[in-house]
Amino acid sequence: MSQQERKYFGTDGIRGTVGQAPITPDFVMKLGWAAGRVLTRGSTDRNKVLIGKDTRVSGYMFESALEAGLAAAGVDTHLLGPMPTPGIAYLTRTFNAHAGIVISASHNRFEDNGIKFFCGNGSKLPDDVEHAIEQELEKPMESVTSRELGKAHRVTDAAGRYIEFCKSTFSNDINLSGLKIVVDCAHGATYHIAPAVMSELGANVIALGNQPDGFNINEGYGATSPEALQQAVLAEGADVGIALDGDGDRLIMVDHTGAVVDGDEITFIIARQRYQRGLLRGAVVGTQMSNLGFERAVQTLGLDFKRVSVGDRYILEMLQANDWVLGGETSGHIICLDLTTTGDGIISALQTLEAMVRSGHKLSALKAGMTKFPQRLINVRLGERTDVKNCEKIASAVAAAEQRLGDTGRVLLRPSGTEPLMRVMVEGQDAGLVDELAEHIADVVQQSVDEAGTADVVRLRKA
């Protein structure tokens, strides 16, 4: 079942506005029931699923709904409380659970929430399992007998277990003593974990965004809003800043000058460190949105670079299929598959800090090995009747742009997996040409949208 054919699942689980379908208590309860039936199918053991959440106020409601649905399917639940998404993946493995469920909308504001799943091995669900859950959702919900109902258990040491795991991924022959680090937790799921990890490894830690109240997650803090971190790094005279998103699977960093270091740059730094120590196996994996400068820098090291569709699940699939170990997205989803099974902001930060400690260089010097190409991204909001896939006018504009760029740039048109948007991205060595071509293609897409209905072009950023 392709991404486009799914009714509920997007690129990263099911997500939306709380109170609007499908993010409603009744649907989430049935989702728990359907997932419980599918994920424990054929099991002869006492069925067990973990549930964790970020710090959104709606997490309480959906935790209860999932618990009820799973119980009706005869599945025991182990409630972890607020936990980073990668922490839930780790604990799913170590508890030998059938699955792990995350209640989170990642980097979105508190008004949104979502549900995503991990298999028993800590990896994200394959497409066919998501398809099976959707098929189960179409059936009437039926409870098992009272004797077979699932029970709920509270896990009290979940945070401590995950803190120790994160620390274990950092080489034991070095530590972070002497480093002053600002850690921005986005008022999210890492608020009680990330500062402790860094501090226990010896760093002098200044914590930001570590006072969640249910409503302030990702608000002015975290990986999607690094301005507060930049200011704090400069004000504190810190060596480095770490910004995580609401559920802790995304990482953006700030060097001592206050400059942002994105996921492409972080992945390159980790790749070079691994390569120099003989720890890098196979190609480095990026996505269609990864900066061309990242690809060229990796190739300069003599390494292969492969691209996949946007979404860390597709990076993971490529790594697993080829027995490779490293991949990442510009947004900061970075997977170190030899250390863990999913993108993990804390572990990725530790790998970058290890490169700093071992080299004796500041983050600004480490990222200097990669030169980002100018990139322009424009989002065109699509109308309900818009179909731009086979539009000759758009195809012609893209072909003309690619001809002008030659081998010094590229063009990408990609529909968003979470919003009704067409993302128009152009990058190349000439910033002026990049802007010109991106504007022109976006205008052509807009014209096609207007022919089917009205929509606005939302210009997000100039890179």
List the domains of the chain with CATH numbers: 3-156 (3.40.120.10), 162-369 (3.40.120.10), 375-462 (3.30.310.50)
The pLDDT confidence band at residue 264, using thresholds 50, 70 and 90, is very high
CB 345 within 8 A of CB 191: no
Q: How far is CA 219 from the centre of its chain?
A: 17
Find, among 328, 346, 326, 347, the residue nearest to 279 by Cα.
Answer: 326
**pTM greater than the 0.85 cutoff:** yes
Indicate the pLDDT class of residue 205, thresholds 50, 70 and 90. Answer: very high
DSSP-derived pairing of the beta strands 326-328 and 409-415:
unpaired
The β-bridge partners of 182 are 206, 241
Compute the residue count for the chain: 463
Is residue 225 annotated as a catalytic residue, yes or no?
no
Residue 372 per-residue DSSP state: P
Q: How many CA atoms lie within 13 A of 62 on its CB side?
A: 33
Q: Which residue has the tokens 């976006």?
A: 442
Chain position carrying tokens 């990725």: 348
What is the residue-wise DSSP string for 215-279? S-TTSS-STT-THHHHHHHHHHT-SEEEEE-TTS--EEEEETTS-EE-HHHHHHHHHHHHHHTT-
| 371-418 tens-digit pLDDT | 999 999 999 988 655 566 678 889 999 999 999 999 899 999 988 766
Residue found under tokens 């000759």: 392
CA 408 to chain centre: 29
pLDDT of residue 313: 86
**Phi-psi map region of 51: left, alpha, beta (phi>0 left; psi -120 to 50 alpha):** beta
Q: Quick one: average pLDDT of 32-44? A: 90
Q: Which of 2, 43, 58, 106 is catalytic?
A: 106
Residue matched to tokens 């990222």: 367
Amino acid, single-letter form, for residue 319: L
CA 231, 236, 240, 241 dihedral sign is negative
129-153: per-residue pLDDT in tens? Answer: 999 999 999 999 999 999 999 999 9
